[in-house]
Structure 1
Amino acid sequence: MSNLVPAGGRSLAVTDDPAKKATVDYVTVMIDDQLFGIPVLQVQDVLAPQAITRIPLAPAEVAGSLNLRGRIVTAIDVRTRLGLPRRQSSERQMSVVVDMGGELYSLIVDGVGEVLTVQENAFERNLATLDPVWRKVSTGIYRLKEGLLVVLDVSRLLTLKGQEAA
């Protein structure tokens, strides 16, 4: 290990120890049997199924709005947004509330898992063989023992045009 002393006079430790490499945390969600990760710093809340008020004339992917501690939050059905068939049952559906440009959005997903910590240097760009629907809304992947963790780009998901999704 070596120490560097920057202009401010405080030393910074630099290490080559792989056990101390940078890590990244993701909240994991399931969408159509695929594991996705949303950067934990973008997640504001995780919600169990709850009443959503429909919005007349809203696009199909806008499930409606909900009240979250006095704030109106737009609920987005991620499956519909991506051109996937709707779930037959909403029993297990959960929502992940994310912040995008100061606005809160509730992303309705098939299920929410755990917070997963992965090594930052294990990140890979999207594979050519990755489903085109997933490629449009992800920044890359991590290979896990259980399969792939696709990193969800919330910004891309929310700005995706309807015709681009399908």
Structure 2
Amino acid sequence: MTENVVEKDYLEEDTQHGRFLTFALEEEVFGIEIKYVTEIIGVQSITKVPEVPPHIKGIINLRGKIIPVIDVRLQFGKEPVDYNDRTCIIVIDIDSVSVGLIVDSVDEVITIEDEEISAPPSSKSGFENRFIKGIGKSGGKVQLLLDCASLLKSDEMEIANDLLE
């Protein structure tokens, strides 16, 4: 019986490989591995928390669970914009840490084969890539694939997680 459980977990995990939820910030398209996404919600009331970096917008109560919310646009150095009906919060979970990512809009779930993913340019080129895991090519488009683990290990997210303890 144990073998079946292990085999089932392996098969479920395997079906997620290469699948990404894409979202937009201005004209750029980003992707997050679907295995980290728990849900997509509309923007809701965010409780501001004092003395945190500007891109950490605060915390929300999601069905009794308090999670920090960051504005990805601000974290990536883009100009702030007013939220609208297309603005979403992508709730991700890595190692039992949940965080909401505010994005301009969610596009679709796509599959990108491993051979269609390139490494990001080296830091020697001046391209800031600490949150970019790779560059995916799908359907004639390019997607910047986020490294969710790096996003949650940033100093700012450690501050946000400290708020929840």
The interval holding the TM-score normalised by the smaller chain is 0.7 to 0.9
Residue 38 of structure 1 corresponds to which residue in structure 2?
32
Q: Secondary structure of the residue that 1:38 maps to in structure 2? A: strand
Gap change, CA 1:143 and 1:131, over 3 Å in 2: farther
Structure with more of its chain in helix, by fraction: 2
* Structure 2 residue ranges without an equivalent (≥5): 1-15, 157-165
Alignment equivalent of 2:146, drawn from 141, 148, 152:
152
Q: CA deviation at 1:128?
A: 5.3
Q: TM-score, structure 1 length as denominator? A: 0.75
- Count of equivalent residues: 140
Residue 50 of structure 2 corresponds to which residue in structure 1?
56
Q: Deviations over 1:42-74 (max 9, x none)?
A: 001101121111112222111011111110010
Q: CA deviation at 1:157?
A: 2.1
Post-superposition, which runs of at least 4 consecutive aligned residues in structure 1 deviate over 4 A?
A: 128-131
Task: Tell me how large the CA RMSD over aligned residues is.
Answer: 2.4
Gap change, CA 1:71 and 1:107, over 3 Å in 2: same
Does the 8 Å contact 2:116/2:138 carry over to 1? no
* Structure 1 residue ranges without an equivalent (≥5): 1-21
Larger Rg: 1
- Work out the CA distance in 2 between the residues paired with 1:154 and 1:41: 10
Q: CA deviation at 1:23?
A: 5.7
Q: CA deviation at 1:161?
A: 4.8
Identity within the alignment, %: 27
- Work out the CA distance in 1 between the residues paired with 2:116 and 2:43: 34
